[in-house]
Amino acid sequence: MKKYRIRLLDKRVIGPFTAKEIETLLNKRRITGDEDFQEFPTGDWASLSMLPNLEQQLSGNMEDDPTFVRKLSDIGFNSNGVDLKFPKEFEFESDLTSMTPISASDEPKPSDSKSNNDEPEAERTELARLTPATEMSDSDKTIINPATIDFLKKEKEKEAERKKLEEQLKERETENEEKKINYEQDATEIFSLKEFKDNISKEVLNSEQELEEEVFNRIDKEEKKQQKSLKQPENVLVEKSSNKKKPIFIIVAALLLVVILLPEQKETKSNKELVLSYPDIEFPQQYETPDKIKAQTLFKKGMVEYQNGDYKSKLKASKLFKASVENSFKNNPASSWLILVYSELLPHSKNKSYDANRIFKLIQIFNSKSSKDPTLVAGMALFYLNIGKSEAAVKVVEKFNAIESNKPTIELFSVYLKSLLQSGDALKAKSVEKRLKAVQKKSLLVYQNLFDYYKFKNELEQAANIIVEAEAKGHKETGLLLRKAHLFLYNEDFNSLEALLKIISQRRAENSKLYYSKFLEYRALLESSQNKPDRALASFKKALEVNESLELRSRLASLEANSTSEVNILINESKAVKLISDSKAHIAKGNFKYAFKDALEASRLAPNYLPAQLHLASLQIKKSFYNEALISLEKLYDKYPQNSQVVFKLIDAYIEAYKFQKAKKMINIISASDMKSEPEYYSKNAKYYVFKDDFIHAVAWLQKAININPLDDYNTFELAKLFIRYRKYDKAKVLLNKVMDLDPANVEYRVAYGEIVYEQEGANSAIGYLYDVLKDFKDNSKILGAIGIYYYRSGQIKMFETTKEKLLKLPNTDGSLFEFLIKAAKLDQNYEAVVEYSNELLKIRPEDLQTRMFLGQVYMELSKYKEALEQFSLIKSRLKTYPKLQFFMSKLYLLTDNVEKAKELANGEIKGNPGSTHGYVLLGDILRKEGKFNEAEKHYKKAQKIDPKNVDVLVGLAYINFVKSQYEIALDLFIKAKRLDPGRAETYKLLGDVYRKIAQSSLAIESYKMFLELSPNTRYKKDLQNYIRMMQ
């Protein structure tokens, strides 16, 4: 009987259990069904849905149990293509009716992603809270998922909740408590109360109300002084500490007096603890009875909160917009503002991947409005920026702006500026900056994005002017103050920085994890300048606990190394950021020489700045400098063995360098660490099997990776390509539609979809589809190249030539033209042209090892062995483990009668890739040529154990049996080889030879004719034609 182990939500492993025992655990609520299961003893860990046998055994009896936790789909939320029923007046427009409205409840909710109101409870979900003590033992303290229970209760009480909506909205303004940070501890201390205790004035007012007014008045005065310091023309953002510290001292004294005068509050934790507030990014659930008046009222209230600009107000605005949409789903402007504010709040999210997926689904629902709604487009662009797709952000904005009747808002142009900056288009960004700067009435979003632009360009005086202008207009939001802190730090005005951080402390960093983390980062730099390294390190570590950041980890490493001052670290990092951006812009334009120059300079300037080191390694991998990349990454791994980004990049390099044993070793190491819970773990496993050409395991791991991170379009596209390769076109289409929504700027997704249209509907339909795509990607060479190929395949030679001429007139920087010309020459079997165009492509892409390998094989076919060896040698200099490299080099030496060198390389192939058939087949071919048939047969059979259906193996074994006069065995093997690869000419020649030996002349003639058709220039042509004439 099969047994299973269970990995609980707290990562403890229990079991093994039988299916019946697991059913009992579910019924008693000892487990929820959301845990991972493993078929004992050696199965892979997977969710219950990935183990159909177990799920089927459990499904029969569980629903009868009153404690059974039901699937959401069982109560009406079906994600299998059935539309939710909306009232007629709120049905989707015609172009959306084919899309399934997606409910947030369709998604599995992570255990750490409860609503804000439930957050304190989420940390105490031990079973002891739900079951009597007598039922518990130390070995069975499992954790249940309260999210499902809460959801079911909410469904039953939905009508009651709706009537109390206004009261509920007020209650939900109190945010969830996720982390409590004590300001009196060294790790989080803003200032020491003890340092100022002796300075308390006896003349301070004793009235609590008067004391509080005095505190706030002094805070306002301090902020005004900070504004004045920004306006100093000669020394931007410099304050003298002697005169500025005193008000802060008085404020501190006053605050301390509050504690002394009110001893009963001294015991209350709420006075000392920071409560982090996270956004509730939830999918709006449409009410059965729409209320347009209420929806309009809620929308107006949401706009008032949004215009306030601060983080807490945007949290309130998001709830009001959501409630508005719930009351009126169709033609409600609140839907666009909901997407915008959700996208703005995404960086503050507790579970970014989970929340981003919900925003993406909202975008899919309302995407039809993107051609006319600037607010929606701004929200979409911000969303793409926040998931690292700056080119997609630029694309959606430019598509909107291209429609003459559209009127883009200043907020949309502000997001456009940020998008251009991140995508590396400095020229367009400068043009947009000029337009934004001239606008008189700017929003907070505009001020922040203009500041970020000037900061990136290192134009700090302009950045200071923007802060001055924003504050003059009444903007004092924490996000703006943190940018102001950056300027103080750059000017080494530590006294002003300290004063500003105390103001942010008074505001509790607006209870935002992002702001609080940034606050801790600046405090750490301040403490470092005050020669308090221990406190600085503690603050940095606390900042990382609050909000994980690769940049922060790099800065922490620099300070731990104690190699330079904190200001120099910041300056060098900022320069490195600019160089990395310039390098990426050069990559986009194909200028790899300058891309490497900037990447190397960034790496030199900031040796402990991990983004710079990882960018350089990525560029080295991209250009096939694998040895250099591996040396750099292995050094980084020695230094940062627990840094997940370093680890996963090293695994990436091992896989792409075909060093599968090292890659697998690294994957096995992290499978026993916390990194196993990261989406990249699943992604790297999937990539490993894709590169190994293991379809079944590749698909399984890709599906797991997509489930963990639905917004990772790389894995989704890889799975789509596998489905296309194995002709599972309908599955591929679904995936391609998703990735095209995830990244509208990626042309490869459109070309792949065109391939499916060609296979299913024919050339004309594919050509028509690609011409429609070409409207959004004018004169794109990849799209035109695909159109040209479809013209050629369908026999429309005149249109093919026209497309070819158009391509030749385009500037060719990425090699797409020559890719097209190579494909066309291959279709024509014009190998001289293939050689010409391949060499032209390699001038543009010298790192393209696949093209170089193909060119070497073409040279071999043309008997140009010297040229072939030159190409293979160039590949070896970059990556000696490249697949089949030693195989083809060995064949090349065999063709030139250098048998010993051929044997050496064949043995090298076996040693380098023991799990591959190539080396064994090649050694068998060499020994067969030497007449050592028994030894050759041994190697073929070793290869057969690895891959029983390998055609080379079948042909080799068949030939040996033919030589040994075992014709029946030979015939059977040749027929199997023909069935597996009907286009292989050699098989028909050898099959004809067998038929001749067994006196089957008609079958021999048929086989020879097919051989001559497939290989018209063979050296056997004359002999075979004579035989055919004689036998006929």
The pair of structure tokens assigned to 800 is: 């093919």
* Largest interatomic CA distance in the chain: 126
- First-to-last alpha carbon distance for the chain, in angstroms, is 66
Give the pLDDT score at 464: 93
Question: Using CA atoms, how far apart are residues 953 and 941, in angstroms rounded to an integer?
Answer: 8
Dihedral sign, Cα of residue 651, residue 685, residue 14, residue 151: positive
Between 142-151, 642-651, 856-865, the lowest mean confidence (pLDDT) is in 142-151
Amino acid at 717: F
Residue 106 in this model has a pLDDT that exceeds 90: no
Task: Tokens 């990607």: give the residue.
Answer: 777
Give the pLDDT score at 258: 36
Query: Rounded to the nearest 10 degrees, what angle do helices 679-691 and 695-708 cross at?
Result: 160
813 alpha-carbon distance from chain centroid: 27
More confident residue, 318 or 1019: 318
Mean per-residue pLDDT, 344-362: 91
Residue 628 in this model has a pLDDT that exceeds 50: yes
User: CA distances (Å), 713 to each of 547, 605, 705, 728, 922, in order?
Assistant: 24, 33, 11, 19, 39
Per-residue pLDDT of 932-949, as tens digits, reads 999 999 999 999 998 888
Residue 139 in this model has a pLDDT that exceeds 80: no
SS3 4: strand
Residue 210 in this model has a pLDDT that exceeds 50: no
Per-residue pLDDT of 679-738, as tens digits, reads 899 999 999 999 888 888 999 999 999 988 888 899 999 999 999 988 899 999 999 999
Give the pLDDT score at 24: 80
Residue 582 in this model has a pLDDT that exceeds 90: no
Alpha helices in 623-746, H assignment, sequence order: 626-639, 644-656, 660-670, 679-691, 695-708, 713-725, 729-742
Task: Decide: 322 and 329 in contact? Cβ < 8 Å.
Answer: no
Question: Using CA atoms, how far apart are residues 857 and 172, in angstroms rounded to an integer?
Answer: 68
DSSP label of 83: P
The pair of structure tokens assigned to 397 is: 């904005």
Run of H or E including 47:
strand 46-47
Residue 525 in this model has a pLDDT that exceeds 80: yes
Would you report the helix, strand and coil content of the chain in percent, each value rounded to 5?
70, 0, 30
Mean per-residue pLDDT, 960-981: 91
Task: Decide: 766 and 792 in contact? Cβ < 8 Å.
Answer: no
In 178-236, where do the E strands start and end?
180-182
Mean per-residue pLDDT, 212-217: 43
Enumerate residues 6+ apart whose C-beta is below 8 A from 47. 34, 36, 37, 707
**Which residues pair with residue 734 across a beta bridge?**
none
Per-residue pLDDT of 741-780, as tens digits, reads 999 999 999 999 999 999 999 999 999 999 999 988 888 8
CA atoms within 13 A on the CB side of 903: 11
Question: Using CA atoms, how far apart are residues 670 and 465, in angstroms rounded to an integer?
Answer: 49
**pLDDT confidence tier of residue 882, bands split at 50, 70 and 90:** confident
Question: Using CA atoms, how far apart are residues 1029 and 530, in angstroms rounded to an integer?
Answer: 99
**pLDDT confidence tier of residue 175, bands split at 50, 70 and 90:** very low
Question: Using CA atoms, how far apart are residues 886 and 902, in angstroms rounded to an integer?
Answer: 9
Per-residue pLDDT of 592-611, as tens digits, reads 888 899 999 989 888 888 88
**pLDDT confidence tier of residue 654, bands split at 50, 70 and 90:** very high
Per-residue pLDDT of 421-454, as tens digits, reads 888 888 899 999 999 999 888 988 899 999 999 9
Name the burial class of residue 403, with classes exposed (0-12), middle (13-18) and buried (19+) by CB atoms within 10 angstroms of its CB.
Answer: exposed
Task: Decide: 28 and 11 in contact? Cβ < 8 Å.
Answer: no
Question: Using CA atoms, how far apart are residues 909 and 895, in angstroms rounded to an integer?
Answer: 18
Task: Decide: 417 and 449 in contact? Cβ < 8 Å.
Answer: yes
- In 3D space, the residue among 612, 471, 624, 487 whose CA is nearest the CA of residue 551 turns out to be 612
Question: Using CA atoms, how far apart are residues 376 and 395, in angstroms rounded to an integer?
Answer: 14
Enumerate residues 6+ apart whose C-beta is below 8 A from 460. 236, 454, 487, 490
Question: Using CA atoms, how far apart are residues 738 and 721, in angstroms rounded to an integer?
Answer: 13
Question: Using CA atoms, how far apart are residues 390 and 26, in angstroms rounded to an integer?
Answer: 45
Q: pTM of the full predicted structure?
A: 0.62
Task: Tokens 């909740």: give the residue.
Answer: 161
Give the pLDDT score at 829: 77
Question: Using CA atoms, how far apart are residues 695 and 990, in angstroms rounded to an integer?
Answer: 31
Report phi then psi at 180, rounded to 5: -115, 120
User: CA distances (Å), 434 to each of 428, 431, 438, 639, 864, in order?
Assistant: 10, 5, 6, 44, 59
Residue 396 in this model has a pLDDT that exceeds 80: yes
Between 145-159, 336-350, 495-509, 699-713, the lowest mean confidence (pLDDT) is in 145-159
